A and B are shown apart, each in its own frame.
Chain A
């Protein structure tokens, strides 16, 4: 009945985190009365539960997530969208044009293969395929800007507490930044330099997500980058 690590220690898969009865949180598993880590990350003990805040993980779609994806295929009545999950997501016609599917709809005119969309996960079907919708504010086809990728498990760090980190980056760089929960980030700035700063800053957050005092360090980093460009 004991914790075998300190909170926020780096653990790797197979590490025994706890011996005894306890609730198992994210990225852990129970085997023969012991709790093991299943991903690399920082261990967290708290409130009768042990979990691992992972540093590396793919995207696991959840209902309500805003995601950025590419249309990879058009089938009868739906688009297949690559959102970096383990399976491609479905975007059905009624979720894209707010009208039922009719055979005379020319689907590539609405969305063509290779185009990028900002969408919301509205459902997971019975095979856990994500169902998307682009009806709603700030959703739909992306007309301008470009996307970059970071590890999806680091998105919460990029957003920060109550959006503090992303608000600061928006203010400092002046770019439009849209964060998809799947690790794809849409950037659109007026000037090339602003976009460069945003890309560099997001890259730095991706690399240093597990460290403390990140917001202050990023603020200094932006200041330094700005001076370089001036």
Chain B
């Protein structure tokens, strides 16, 4: 099969268009014992995020006297991938935890809660590529649900290059077989980017294309996040009418 022939009737593995997101579902307030929580399904990704705090930090010496500490934990469940993975945090888990923290910190008013901690736990129940973006989308919904003062929501989406074509929201296969992957997190109302990573090789032009594609995807995800947050209160209004 020559590449040219393939391009003519070009189609992605799951039949999506190049700028189409995977099916997305977000729910807020799913864990009664957490201060705030969210559940996201982004394609086959299934992620649960719980937020606790602001609360007293233990160990105390890690707290900061002038602001709160945002502590993120990204963890993939042993059954989230095939074959089973070890439940111990890997180097990858640790790095994505850090990346999530960097992406969320600009959105949270940490200076309002000195000497305390805000914990964000993201548990990957099922992984299918782009888990860090999906975790960030759920985490920002969970932070709002926890009543933590925020500047804006954080929306995250990846774009990349697969089979010579720029595509939005890469799945697991495209992520591994593709040429490049650009995860991006964005605060839509403030128009600020809080996370930008790149894996693979892109020309400057392609890179710009990826960013505009990802920003476009972020706008769509933002609408879903808004709906998820508002839905928690709408359901009760229907109850009221009964």
Chain A hits for B236, CB < 8 A = 207-208, 210-211
Most buried by B among A13, A16, A38, A87: A13
A153 proximal to B (CB < 8 A):
yes
A222 to B230, CA, bound (A): 28
> Is B88 in contact with chain A by the CB < 8 A criterion?
no
Secondary structure at the A interface, as helix, strand, loop or mixed, is loop
A39 to B143, alpha carbons, bound, how many Å? 10
Q: Which residues of B contact A127 (CB under 8 A)?
A: 114-115
Contact call B147/A151, Cβ cutoff below 8 A: yes
B150 within 8 A of A: yes
Interface residues in A54-80 (C-beta closer than 8 Å to B): 54-58
Contacts of B148 in A (CB 8 A): 39, 58
A210 vs B234: C-alpha distance when bound (angstroms): 10
Interface size on A, residues (CB 8 A): 30
| Closest chain A residue, CB of each to CB of B63 | A87
Q: Which of A39-60 contact B (CB under 8 A)?
A: 39-40, 54-58
| Bitwise interface map of B from 88 to 115 toward A, beta carbon under 8 Å scored 1, else 0 | 0000000000000000000001000111
How big is chain B's contact interface, by range?
Answer: 20 to 34
A156 within 8 A of B: no
B216 CB, min distance to chain A CBs, angstroms: 18
Answer yes or no: A145 CB below 8 A from chain B CBs. Answer: no
Residues of A within 8 A of B (CB): 10, 12-16, 27, 29, 31, 36, 38-40, 54-58, 86-88, 127-128, 151, 153, 207-208, 210-211, 217
Binding site for A on B (CB under 8 A): 35-36, 53-56, 68, 109, 113-116, 144-153, 187-190, 226, 229-230, 233, 236-237, 239-240
